[in-house]
Structure formats: C-alpha cells, structure tokens
C-alpha cells in the first residue's frame, strides 16, 4: 500500500464569521496545491482513495491535487484527520483497505507530522504547507518497521 500525506496549502487568516474551520486557501496556497498536484503526477501517484480533513482549506487543497492527478473518485471528508486527531484512527481505516491501495490524505499541523512520525518510526518535526510525504506501508499501519519513506515534496523532491 502507498500513502501520500499532504499538508494543506497556505490559508487566509480566520475571519469572524467562519473562524478557523472556514479558512480558505490564499492565492499562494492555491499555487502550492497545484504545484503539489503536478509534482505527484510527475512521480506517477495514482490514488485509489482521497481522504481529507473536512476543514475548507484541506478540501480545497485536495480538490486541486486530485484534479492534477486525474482522480475520478470523490474526496472523502473524514473526521479522523482534524489538526488534533490521533493518527491511530487513520491507521485503522488504512488496515481495512486492500494491499494495493494508494491513499492520498490531506490534513494539517500537527496531525501530518504526527502521522508520518508514527508510521516511519522517527520524528518528523515540521511539515510545510503544500508538502507531501510518500510512504510505502508494508506492514500493519503504525507498526514498528511497517513503513518506509519513498520521497518528500517540499517545493522540490527530496529522495
């Protein structure tokens, strides 16, 4: 199974009416999401599932990325990908998928580095906006030694 973790693009400051949940992408964030989508396409990422935090900025990022990937499915908003969610709920959902699944997950700080750290077994300190981690999951999600980092996208590829 492959898992691509992406942090949403840069977002506007909260406004009084919608608060943090309703923050949308800035022009910079939209450009970041498009660039991330193109980069993932360049590396041949072809998701079978697209999951996102239900917060506006994550949904917008997801839609821009899957558009670049030609994903014909639906982006599923999940309540286990909020900024303060625990990664183990996601790992349970991943465990129910077939071994050939390729899952795109778009979320937030501090969730993205927490999920990457739990999967990879080392501390991932920062996850920039628009960044992506491509992870091969070979064992039970979240188990020691059950995943390996394939590459990172941080405005450029880091292998």
Q: What is the pLDDT of residues 108-133, one digit of tens each?
A: 999 999 999 999 999 998 899 999 99
pTM attached to this predicted model: 0.94
CA distance 84 to 39: 28
Q: CA end-to-end span of the chain, whole Å?
A: 19
pLDDT at 159: 77
H or E stretch including 37?
helix 27-42
| 144 pLDDT tier (thresholds 50, 70, 90) | low
User: Virtual CA dihedral for 133, 139, 142, 143, nearest 10 degrees?
Assistant: -130
Q: What's the fold here for domain 2-102+110-158? A: Rossmann fold (3.40.50)
Strand ranges in 59-101 using DSSP code E only, listed in sequence order? 75-77
Judge whether 57 is annotated as a binding position: yes
CA distance 141 to 8: 22
């Amino acid at each position: 199974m492959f898992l691509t973790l992406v942090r949403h693009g840069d977002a506007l400051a909260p406004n009084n009416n919608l608060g943090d949940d309703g923050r949308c992408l800035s022009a910079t964030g939209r450009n970041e999401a498009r660039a991330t989508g193109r980069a993932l396409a360049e590396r041949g990422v072809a998701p079978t599932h697209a999951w996102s935090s239900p917060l506006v900025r994550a949904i917008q990022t997801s839609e821009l990325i899957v558009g670049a990937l030609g994903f014909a499915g639906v982006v599923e908003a999940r309540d286990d990908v909020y900024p303060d969610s625990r990664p183990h709920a996601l790992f349970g959902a991943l465990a129910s998928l077939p071994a050939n699944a390729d899952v795109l997950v778009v979320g937030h700080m501090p969730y993205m580095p927490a999920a990457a750290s739990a999967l990879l077994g080392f501390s991932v300190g920062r996850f920039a906006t628009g960044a992506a981690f491509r992870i091969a999951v070979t064992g039970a999600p979240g188990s020691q030694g059950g995943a390996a980092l394939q590459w990172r996208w941080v405005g450029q590829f880091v292998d």
